[in-house]
Structure 1
Amino acid sequence: MISRRDVVTDSAIAVVAEQGVRGLTHRAVDALAELPVGSTSNVYRTRDALITGIMERIGDLNSQQLDRLPDMFRDSGKPALEISVDFCMNWLTTDRNRFYTMIMLSLDPALPNEALAAKQKNTAKIDEFVMRLANVDAEMARAMNSSVMGMMITELIAGTADRSHVESFMGQFLTWVGNNTTQA
């Protein structure tokens, strides 16, 4: 069963995705979650605490997905390209609100210190995941993560989430990775 904290935080993610960072208020979250007025402020007393909660929740949800990915590569029988494209498409469609909110809040220059720490933790986990999965060093993992994120942000901005674009990019990207990494 989902906790009240998760209901509030998931609703806050949706508010940012639908109304932008400026639209993030306790009342807007209460309304979207169909909770009594004041419910969000009972969980997160301040807007900064709410933003921090959002970044922490995004990090937790991202970690859960990343933890499942190696099993998909090993057990699904699908080629790496298909799994990679499916993963990107999931973030651009099914989990679009989370991806959009993660990007929007990550770009906010006024991010509270606690939220900044949560963002940095999330970024580090993604980089560590890429290091393990691709067997590359930290610098290469950051470059790989930046490349894929850039493509995904381009699709997000275009509003297309076009699978053929993602497939084309990921095919070229995986070829590049194969040519520029060495197995340890």
Structure 2
Amino acid sequence: MARRTEVADAAIATLAREGMRGLTHRAVDRTAGLPEGSTSYYFRTRNALLKAVVERLAEVDAAEIPALPNGDLDAFADAAARLVHAWLTIGRDRQLARYELTLEATRRPELREVLVTAGAKVRGMVADRLGAAGVAEPDSRAADFVALVDGLVFDQIAGAGDRELTPARLRAVLRALLAAIGGMASDPDRL
């Protein structure tokens, strides 16, 4: 793993654990087990470090999205349910970091620009899969799907929800969501 990637991953873990206030170059050095000053060598400013975190999150997302199949919305819903469940469990730190950055981006236009670009790439990949499955207006529907999934994830990560999204429950919710956005026949027996 390249050192810049290692530092970005440590920054994600630090951000998830400590929040925006706790994200310092020294804290990232400690998380990564690197000598003091290592993070600032690779990312001189806080803005550079934040940008690196957004780019790393987008890179990991872009690597995961191809696991969502083309052409079959049932298979897409099943794979999406597995992916979202992984985000809620083993990928929880990434989601916490993403939400921290999303809020910070409301005050930092330069960070918002990077976040919007990264999000557009993910929505584009989802749109490709929805389009291949015959969903009308795949770009618009992908934006809806991603936003609604993001809401489900946030609800679970923030602890606002009163139910656990098990893999089976996620599969049912995502199938219903795909039916609602025009991609699947709504069959209550399948949910």
Instruction: Tell me which residue corresponds to 1:148.
Output: 149
Match of 1:128 among 124, 147, 156: 124
Unaligned runs of 5+ in 1: none
Match of 1:111 among 108, 112, 133: 108
Q: Displacement of 1:42 after TM fit?
A: 0.5
Unaligned runs of 5+ in 2: 132-136, 186-191
Match of 1:92 among 88, 108, 111: 88
Once the two structures are superposed, residues 98-121 of structure 1 have per-residue CA deviations (whole angstroms, 9 ceiling, x without a partner) of 1221121012123351x3222111
Q: 1:151·1:169 contact (CA, 8 Å) conserved in 2?
A: no
- Residue 36 of structure 2 aligns to a residue in which SS? coil
| CA 1:112–1:39: 2 relative to 1, 3 Å | farther
What is the RMSD of the two structures over their aligned residues, measured on CA atoms? Answer: 2.3
Question: Within 1, Cα distance between the matches of 2:142 and 2:77?
Answer: 18
Instruction: Tell me which residue corresponds to 1:49.
Output: 48
Aligned pairs, how many?
174
Q: 1:48·1:112 contact (CA, 8 Å) conserved in 2?
A: no
Instruction: Tell me which residue corresponds to 1:64.
Output: 63
Question: Partner amino acid for 1:57?
Answer: R
Task: Provide the TM-score with structure 2 as the length reference.
Answer: 0.81
Q: How does 1:7-46 map to 2 (within 5 A)?
A: 7-46=6-45
Question: Within 2, Cα distance between the matches of 1:52 and 1:104?
Answer: 13
Identity %: 29
**Larger mean Cα displacement after TM superposition, 37-46 or 155-164:** 155-164
Instruction: Tell me which residue corresponds to 1:162.
Output: 165
Is residue 81 from structure 1 mapped to residue 77 from structure 2 by the alignment? yes
Q: Displacement of 1:81 after TM fit?
A: 3.0
Question: Within 2, Cα distance between the matches of 1:129 and 1:80?
Answer: 13
